[in-house]
Amino acid sequence: MKRILLPVAALAILAACGGKSRQVVTPEPLSPAAELRLRLDSVVDAGKYLFGHHDDTAYGHTWEYEEGGSDVKAVTGEYPALMSWDLGLIEVDSARNLDGVPFGFIRSQIAAQHARGGFNTISWHPINPATRGNSWDTSVAPLADSVMLDTLTVWIDRAAAFIASLKDADGKPLPVIFRPWHENSGSWFWWGSGSATPEQYIALYRLTRERFDSAGIDNVLWAYSPDKDLTREQYLSTYPGDDYVDILGADIYAFDGEEGIGQYTERVRAQLPMVVDEARRRGKIAAFTETGLEGLPVADWYTRVLRPLTDSLGIAYVCVWRNGIQTQKPEHFYVPYPGHPSEADFRLYHDTSNALFVK
């Protein structure tokens, strides 16, 4: 069942034609989030999906912070239709995120991506409020201690303030997908299954959305994205609820090069159609929120492995992770850079798949 949201123009026509009294009802303008929802619906209705890349214009394999820089664009001629960004360390008022990207830069890139007709999604790797270690520090489970929620509320409000500050040149809020508390079914994050009960997780997610809502923030679609190998029941066991979530996703990575293709394919086929089905039944959007093969040791991975899995799935987007800088993380990249053996294959994926890119 799809929730039908009519654009303002259609509502105005309906109002103008409706009834003998010819009373014209001036419709409320759509919120940026509702407009984003319509745009994502039209992508899915057209049988397409956005191609996404994390930190796309911040840095790539051989460059950082260069005007026009993007490994996706360098190889395909276009930017990814979706750009992904992370708020990690915004909670402690840092000027740069956990991967060194200045928040001011992220703000400007989100505006630039929107202006070129693209989309933006935001994840968040906050530090552990109990230990002040990073997101992967599970030595203390902060959600077991209700006092931690006070700290987290302050942190959530800082994330909310950043997202509320995203505006276009006319001062209109820019729509974004927000995907906090991701991969919670795994045990590697302090909000994950090893450190939080389903109730604690759901309470954290709901608190996050409630803080945004009470601040009147209306430029966000909310994504839920647990990890791999989940049955429907397991997937739904930490689902925050239809009133809190707009996008149902999953993070499923490929591992082990050629040998791992079978397992990856099975994992995606076992879970993503279920996610798409749940999303449809609930009137929500489905997405493949994170995936990729680190280092691309399989040269035709994009056309041989990813394209058949994603091309007719009914998802609004697929997002691959970042291209780390060569001098820091030489093998940590998920799209080919110029000169990489899978360059031609990625171009072919760009040219022949249902994935969308932007000029």
> Which residues contact ligand BMA (rule: CB under 6 A)?
86, 98-99, 125, 321-322, 332
Least distance CB 137 / ligand BMA (angstroms) = 13
CB of 99 to ligand BMA, least distance (A): 5
SS (H, E, C) 196-227: CCHHHHHHHHHHHHHHHHHCCCCCEEEEECCC
Amino acid at 65: Y
Let me know: does 152 contact 207? Beta carbons within 8 Å: yes
Q: Locate 315 and state its tokens.
A: 């998802």
Question: One of 258, 290, 331, 343 is an active-site residue; which one?
Answer: 290
3-class secondary-structure state, position 24? coil
Q: Minimum CB separation from ligand BMA for residue 153, in Å? A: 23
Question: Is 183 among the residues known to form the active site?
Answer: yes
Chain-centre distance for alpha carbon 349: 21
DSSP string, 309-348: HHTTS--SEEEE-----TTT-TT--SS--TTSTTHHHHHH
d(CA 298, CA 310): 18
DSSP track, 264-299: HHHHHHHHHHHHHHHHHHTT-EEEEEEE-BTT--ST
> In whole angstroms, how close is the CB of 88 to ligand BMA at the nearest point?
6
Beta carbon nearer to ligand BMA, 32 or 88: 88
- Record the tokens describing residue 71, joined without a space: 């490994």
Query: Smallest distance, Å, CB 260 to ligand BMA?
Result: 17
Determine which one of 28, 67, 91, 183 is catalytic.
183
Residue with smaller CB distance to ligand BMA, 44 or 58: 58
Let me know if 266 is a catalytic residue. Answer: no
Closest to ligand BMA by CB, 84 or 310: 84
Inter-residue contact 221 to 285 (CB < 8 Å)? yes
Q: Which is nearer to ligand BMA, 239 or 264 (CB)?
A: 264
Name, in order, each residue with C-beta under 8 angstroms of 246's C-beta and a sequence gap of 6 or more. 33, 37, 221, 222, 223, 284, 285
Is the Cβ of residue 193 or residue 291 nearer to ligand BMA in the bound state? Answer: 291
Residue with tokens 């014209």: 24
| Residue whose CB is less far from ligand BMA, 205 or 321 | 321
Count helices and strands (H / E) in the chain: 10, 10
Hey, which residues are catalytic here?
A: 183, 290
